[in-house]
Structure 1
Amino acid sequence: MRSSRRPTADFPKLTPGVTLVDVDNDLGVTPVQALLLDQVLGGDGRAYWVDGANRANTTQLRELAPADRVLDRIDIARGFTAHQHTSLLDRLAGRLDSHDQPSVVVATGLDRMYRDADIEDELATQMFIRAIASIARIARVHNVPVVVTRCREDDFSRPLQRAAETHLQCRATPCGPRFEDTAGDVETLVYHTDDGWIQTTLAYWQEVLEHRARIHGATTLERAAGPVGVQ
């Protein structure tokens, strides 16, 4: 049941550059989808989501969006092999160099394909570094937020952490997901009912984004450039 109170519609403020978001496994990709939609609502450009870990859940994205028209400005591509994933990021970096200014770029599970690659370890590492260079190039050239996630924190993924200007963590708490950054700033997304604090649910994320849509104005929902692209 949704709260009768207005939600605390405060997402972490994304700045231009690479932002690494480590999300607790039981939260899934929902927090990242919420960040993506919030950027689309507040910007004019398209959003691009390149997935390497089978996390691009378009059904849930549609449930979260305050209106289907918001989805018209989101292009989604999935990489199923290391070579395909690297190629997608290269193509996206080249396409954006000459065509448009995105509002946000998201790359979920950036390290996944290079861990599971059926290639030599040295080549897999080289391809992973190349993928990181592609997202860093997009952030630098277009001065936009690029949000990335990784499958796990270890030595292999350390280059991605070094490349990120901002490192956020989204942790599950008894009062809902909480965003924290390494600088010590904290954003907590919870809502309250007469029965007490309730674990954040999909319905709450929907309510937050609907409120954000009202903040940004109805014109945001009218900006559309084409259908959601799944490759």
Structure 2
Amino acid sequence: MPKTRRPTADLPALEPGVTLVDVDNDLGVTPVQALLLDQVLGGDGRAYWVDGANRANTTRLRELAPADRVLDRIDVARGFTAHQHTSLLDRLGGRLDSRNQPSVVVAAGLDGMYRGADVESEIATQMFIRAIASIARIARVHNVPVVVTQCHDDDFSRPLQRAAKTHLQCRATPCGPRFEDTTGDVETLVYHTGDSWMQTTLAYWQEVLEHRARMHEATTLERAAGPVGVQ
């Protein structure tokens, strides 16, 4: 019987700026939640999730998190109309300062609220542009990663795509989830062979994050110990 290969501990390293992440429907929003948790594990600041399409499943975040203390540094807000969503992004930008430096900001389903019927189409487009400007300003002023997702890839969402410094795709493959950077070199992460492991399950992402938590903890201990002198 072939030996099962365990998940790798790699996830894409998020650079400061806007990163657009497209995820296969089969994988849901879980890969984005994994990116969020990984940034919190590796940083000191809080994480902010502004939801525009009912994607912020806090139950799943709790299930994924390697420790409850990680969740204490994640704030989640939902906008149920275009006006609420725009207001949340404006308020978030005003809340952040040098003493409240975030580790990551996530705006899932950024275009979702602006496709609804609660405002006229021309006004909705203007509000969508304003929302994009808000997340771009947060990324620029605070020099942090801002992760966004889109509900649909069409002409309406083109301004968001143009604003993104990085465009990641997470695809379900027979060998597991694969992240690709479509704006630069192709990068294959969280990907392995062996069909005896259910790669797209919750347990898969839990184990990846447990690996990442141990790696971040080891790095923190090394920094705290400082350089080792040679005798």
Question: Residues 135, 113 of structure 1: CA spacing in aligned structure 2 closer, same or farther, 3 A cutoff?
Answer: same
Give the percent of matched residue pairs that are identical in Structure 1 and Structure 2: 84
Distance 1:123 1:99 in 2: 35
Alignment partner, residue 227 of structure 2: none
Distance 1:18 1:165 in 2: 5
For 1:122-155, what per-residue CA distance to the aligned partner results, in whole angstroms no more than 9, with x for missing partners? 1000000000000000000000000000001000
Alignment partner, residue 149 of structure 1: 149
- Which amino acid in structure 2 is aligned with residue 104 of structure 1? V
3-state secondary structure, aligned to 2:12: coil
Shift of 1:172: 1.3
By relative contact order (CA 8 Å, sep 6+), the higher-ranking structure is 1
For 1:70-110, what per-residue CA distance to the aligned partner results, in whole angstroms no more than 9, with x for missing partners? 00000000000000000000000010136510000000000
Distance 2:120 2:4 in 1: 56
Alignment partner, residue 63 of structure 2: 63
Matches for 1:116-127 after TM superposition, within 5 Å: 116-127=116-127
Alignment partner, residue 205 of structure 1: 205
Shift of 1:181: 1.0
Matches for 1:1-231 after TM superposition, within 5 Å: 6-97=6-97, 99-182=99-182, 183-191=184-192, 196=196, 198-217=198-217
Shift of 1:7: 2.8
| Larger Cα-atom Rg | 2
Cα contact 1:10–1:187 (8 A) shared by 2? no
* Runs of 5+ consecutive residues of structure 1 not aligned to the other structure: 221-231
Question: Residues 4, 40 of structure 1: CA spacing in aligned structure 2 closer, same or farther, 3 A cutoff?
Answer: farther
3-state secondary structure, aligned to 2:188: strand
- Paired residues in the alignment total 217
Question: Residues 50, 154 of structure 1: CA spacing in aligned structure 2 closer, same or farther, 3 A cutoff?
Answer: same
Distance 1:105 1:116 in 2: 24
* Runs of 5+ consecutive residues of structure 2 not aligned to the other structure: 221-231
- Across the aligned residues of Structure 1 and Structure 2, the Cα RMSD in angstroms comes to 1.9
Distance 2:86 2:138 in 1: 14
Shift of 1:190: 3.6
Distance 1:16 1:100 in 2: 16
Cα contact 1:175–1:200 (8 A) shared by 2? no
Distance 2:200 2:102 in 1: 29
Cα contact 2:19–2:165 (8 A) shared by 1? yes
Distance 2:161 2:13 in 1: 19
Distance 2:80 2:4 in 1: 43
3-state secondary structure, aligned to 1:186: coil
Distance 1:68 1:199 in 2: 24
Higher strand share: 1
